[in-house]
Amino acid sequence: MTAFFQELGLPFEGAWLLSTIIGILLIALPVMLAVAMIIYADRKIWAAMALRRGPNVVGPFGLLQSFADGLKVFLQETIVPSAANKTLFLIAPIITFTVALMAWAVVPFQVGVVLADINVGLLYILAISSLGVYGVVLSGWASNSKYPFYSAIRASAQMISYEVSIGFILICVVLWAGSFNLTAIVESQKGYYGFLNGNGFNPLLFPMAIMFLISAMAETARAPFDLTEAESELVAGYQTEYSSMAFALFWLGEYANVILMCALNAVLFWGGYLPPFDWAPLYYVPGILWLFAKILFFFFVFSWVKATVPRYRYDQLMRLGWKIFLPTSLLFVFLVSGFLMLTRYGGAQ
């Protein structure tokens, strides 16, 4: 795209800046539209599992319900508690939302279709995803209220607990692919057993795929790990004192994070933009459609779990992270590295 604008007479700096802005908009706007549709889909899935109808009034089949909700919160008054730290109180939801969008910069939608195809894409994702908790912590502290503060403490402990095991899970993927670049990781998943695409079909990486899916639910504070906003204990957690668009930004950030984690599940373990089978006719389907189909499948799993699994107690959440996921992921780092030393790198000679 930069070359195209240079041909129109723009200098390199201006062409690069314009093409980058267009690339950002081409990712950010569809993601925000997808968030609106995903909220609608989430409510429809919950309703179907409870034998209800869900949103069905605003627009055909209720498709415009999310936009009606957005208009409602946009027109409401933003109330800032008198004892709150006003600056941090208003910055917190902005941090949550922007960080959720920043991570999409390195996600490959097809070969070459990525905003920033950097060599350390996976490290960038890990760094950005860990920043999301700052919005929750700041909102809990700045509200100057005990329930949001409890929620902020829970969020920080939960993030640390599951970031550690996620880090070891990603080490297994990086060892197998030999690269931190997400496009290279996707390309390394071709041809398992001659006809399957995806690390999830690898016996050494399949347990890591399951652990990553569960850890992603904990990382995004989705049920059954939504202890940060447990309404039976903390009213609404870190969101208790928020209203209007500040409240809406938390929702948008949460669902953008959920879509991102669904995309990462697809990219790291299930072939990303590759078709599920390594069969030539399937490659005629654009890779972006395969990626979207896998994202939708994993989102259905997220919604399914939220609709059916009861919330964990906090001690159960911590036990799962520290006593089960951490030692298991560390064990698989040794297993994967040992297997690669024996087979790929000639350690048996």
- Is residue 249 within 8 A of residue 243, CB to CB? The reply is no
pLDDT tens, 275-295? 999 888 898 999 999 999 999
The whole-number pLDDT of residue 71 equals 87
User: Who wins on pLDDT, 174 or 248?
Assistant: 174
pLDDT above 50 for 256: yes
| CA gap 6, 14 in Å, rounded | 8
The whole-number pLDDT of residue 347 equals 56
**pLDDT band at 83; cut points 50, 70, 90:** confident
Average pLDDT over residues 16-41: 87
How is 260-309 classified by DSSP, letter by letter? HHHHHHHHHHS-TTS-SB--GGGGGS-HHHHHHHHHHHHHHHHHHHHHHS
Average pLDDT over residues 13-39: 86
**pLDDT band at 173; cut points 50, 70, 90:** very high
Average pLDDT over residues 96-119: 88
Please state the domain extents for the chain: 76-343
Is the CA virtual torsion 217, 218, 222, 223 positive or negative? positive
Give CA 334 to chain center in angstroms: 27
Residue found by looking up tokens 């599940």 in the block: 265
- Is residue 307 within 8 A of residue 147, CB to CB? The reply is no
Average pLDDT over residues 240-251: 81
pLDDT above 50 for 349: no
pLDDT tens, 194-206? 889 999 999 999 9
pLDDT tens, 319-342? 998 999 999 999 999 999 999 998
